[in-house]
Chains A and B, each alone.
Chain A
């Protein structure tokens, strides 16, 4: 049945225009306000997972008075189950550079950086070649916006924007208190726009197609398309660009192996949706948001094991700076082990749920705050698997 098929899109990975950096050159001639209006009109929200409205971020940074501003592309893709940024930077890097340069023009920044995770160091030679091409081209059209690559060194937390600034500044990747936000105080304390790789490409697509065309895709709350990283128990793992706002049951129809019992939407820091809720779950900002990670689990998988794996991950990747996260991750992991072994009664899980809620309220950054997402959605929906 054709109506159960998901809408495949080919925007992000679509071919470059035949003239090199055509959209960039054209956009450079447009007034900033008009560009911002277009992005606002398109309804674009950040593609890293948090979904902050892009136009607002850019406008706030544009309005921050400073001689020195920066544009940073967050390519510290570390969320388990996510690998789309690598694909984008491999296949269409020029679109990323262009999006960054447009941002630089709008906010009045002089320099751009790409923070690439250390695990992707092998990409450097190719990426540098492309970047040299961009930098040369920029010079030739009188565009003063050089872009540089900074490499991470294997710390998931550096995907958190303020930890990323710290890392670029040569510090431990420990998140800062907010406010101040990057729009006023980011890299080196200067106003900074930091966006996900995909967000910059989306801006490019809006410049190329216009806001109206972009808006045709998706729903009121989730405009446009999204690149999904699909993995786990699926016969067709890989990268797919799909329209936002799709119901999860249709996604499972297409990608499941016929025995899907749960889908982890948004990686280890996202939500685990059990089979009975597939029908009522929408993938998008109005439902369950995702930075692109979609991991499918079939009935052969122990959800206890899955949760344990996530908690190991968080325990190791927690920067250790704030107590709720440093101690919380550890205690959650020890807690589910104790319940499983029978050292604790099953109602101890309720205590652990409360602990995860406390972490949501009191942890300093998104890492500690979001552990509760997967923890409570797995414990709540698969309680018997936690106990027996």
Chain B
């Protein structure tokens, strides 16, 4: 075991070695590193006595279990119907302009990733987005501006 993935041992000790622990472990890795690397997956497989393919299979199934590097703050803008109707495009445009990246990309300083996602459950207050796990609804370009500025200064 290499020194830099002690966190996997910790997660395995916290949740156990059964297959039912796989989701919480993968979620734990994303929470810490914002994505699950190939090395993480093989390490988890070894710890849980699974094949790496099984871990890869589960990890790649879920939209929120990222398997490519993401920024420190992952912005997920809801693109489902009511958010779309209420101005999702302007929200995306604002974020793209501010961060100077396109949807799907990560800023060069690895701070932000901008993604679109399916229904977040804020249809009555759309448009909505998540920044990591925190939801923001009732968005306007002005509000998005203020919110992002806060994160930029973090």
Contacts and interface: CB of A to CB of B under 8 A. Distances in A.
B123 A118 contact: no
Contacts of B122: 83
Interface stretch (A27-35, A170-178, A241-249, A324-332): A170-178
A264 B82 CA distance: 11
A153 B123 contact: no
Contacts of B27: 118, 151, 153
Given A122-B134, A151-B27, A317-B118, A172 B61 contact: yes
Interface string A100-130: 0000000000000000011111100000000
A229 interface: yes
Interface string A204-237: 0000000000000000000000000111110001
Interface residues of B, number: 36
A82 B121 contact: yes
B35 to A, nearest CB: 13
Nearest to A237: B124
A118 B64 contact: yes
Contact of A313 (B57, B80, B123, B126): B80
B96 interface: no
Contacts of B99: none
Contacts of B77: none
A201 interface: no
Contacts of B23: 150-151, 153, 167-168, 170
Interface of B: 18-24, 26-27, 57-58, 61-65, 79-82, 84-85, 117-126, 130, 133-135
Contact of A239 (B21, B124, B133): B124
A309 B124 contact: no
Contact of A77 (B57, B80, B121, B135): B121
Contact of A81 (B19, B20, B62, B82): B82
Contact of A154 (B63, B79, B84): B63
B20 A168 contact: yes
Given A81-B81, A151-B23, A309-B81, A237 B125 contact: yes
A153 B64 CA distance: 5
Closest 7 CB pairs of A and B: A170-B22, A154-B64, A237-B124, A154-B63, A153-B62, A231-B123, A172-B61
Interface in A158-216: 167-174, 188
B58 A229 contact: no
Contact of A170 (B19, B119, B130): B19
Given A83-B121, A151-B27, A168-B20, A119 B130 contact: yes
A87 to B, nearest CB: 10
Contact of A295 (B63, B81, B125): B81
Given A173-B61, A232-B82, A295-B81, A83 B123 contact: yes
B145 to A, nearest CB: 22
A120 B85 CA distance: 22
